[in-house]
Amino acid sequence: MIRLDHVSKSYEAGKPALEDVTIHIDPGEFVFVVGDSGSGKSTLIRLLLKELEPTKGKIYINGQDLRKVTHKKIPMYRRNVGVVFQNFRLLPDRNVYENVAFAMKVVECSNREIKKKVPTILSLVGLAAKYKSKPSQLSGGEQQRVAIARALVNEPKIILADEPTGNLDSDNTWEIMRLLDEINQRGTTVVVVTHNMEIVRAMNKRVITIKKGVVVSDVGGEDYED
């Protein structure tokens, strides 16, 4: 499903952000990627989204070598990878329904499909009643649920979440983690980048630890030690 073979990424100057990273994530797995700020976690997500190119090594997603995904083919590739950000990145001038529908419009779904699917997905994330609200009228947790609905609506095989609870209070953090777990139970591979050790310990999932761009441990939840 996700395979990184000896991947390194260096920016223009200084030490590499990632160095010789080899990771293999199976379909349907739930994986945490943890590490301090500047450890290279976000670089990993950006590489998986093909926002960045690795300096060395190969990345395969769903069996597809990302080096062979040209600029023109990137949109088709990204449609199979849902993404959730720490700062939600919703379109501020559109309401909840429009933000989710927008992701379907982008992939040229018909209006009929959109009308059928958006309410279903909003129910799944518990926001059916707030479909008319603008992002500014929602709490952080609700905004993140809209972002998850948007990431899910096109039924991607993988969800990448970059610090999804970074801007949320404790209650909302647990709500979002429960939602991501539920999505994973339905068969979607979920990769969560975080530095919130409390949720990592509580969720009992596989944990990959990155320090200064290097993978220092990759263990199952029960073996993880902070």
Partner 1 sequence: MKISTHIYNIGQGLKNIWRNKMFSLASIATMTACIFLFGIFYSLGTNFQSMVKTAEEGVAVTVFFDEGISQARIDEIGKEIKKRVEVKSYNFVSADQAWEDYKAEYFGGNEELAAGFAEDNPLANSANYEIYLNDVSMQPTLVSFLQGLDGVRQVNQSEVAAKTLTDINKAITIVSMAIVIILLAVSVFLISNTVMVGISVRREEIAIMKLIGAKDAFVRAPFVVEGICIGLIGSVIPLVLLFLIYEKVIEYASSEFNFLSNMVSFIPVETIFRTLVPISLVLGIGIGWFGSRLTLHKHLRV
The site for partner 1 (CB under 8 A) is made up of 49, 51, 71, 74-79, 83, 89-91, 93, 102-103, 105-108, 110-111, 150-151, 154
Quickly count: other Cβ atoms within 10 Å of residue 118's Cβ: 25
The one-letter amino acid at 199: I
Least spacing, CB of residue 217 vs partner 1, in Å: 29
Q: What single DSSP character describes residue 209?
A: E
CA dist., res. 47 & res. 51, Å (int)? 6
Other Cβ atoms closer than 10 A to 86: 18
Q: How far apart are CA 26 and CA 106, in angstroms?
A: 28
Nearer to partner 1, 75 or 220 (CB): 75
Residue corresponding to tokens 């933000």 = 99
Q: Closest CB to partner 1 among 89 and 117?
A: 89
Q: Which is nearer to partner 1, 68 or 71 (CB)?
A: 71
Nearer residue to partner 1 within complex by CB, 54 or 82: 82
Tokens coding 140:
């952080």
Smallest gap from Cβ 46 to partner 1, in A, equals 10
Rounded to a whole number of angstroms, the minimum distance from the CB of residue 120 to partner 1 is 18
**Nearest approach, Cβ of 172 to partner 1 (angstroms)?**
21
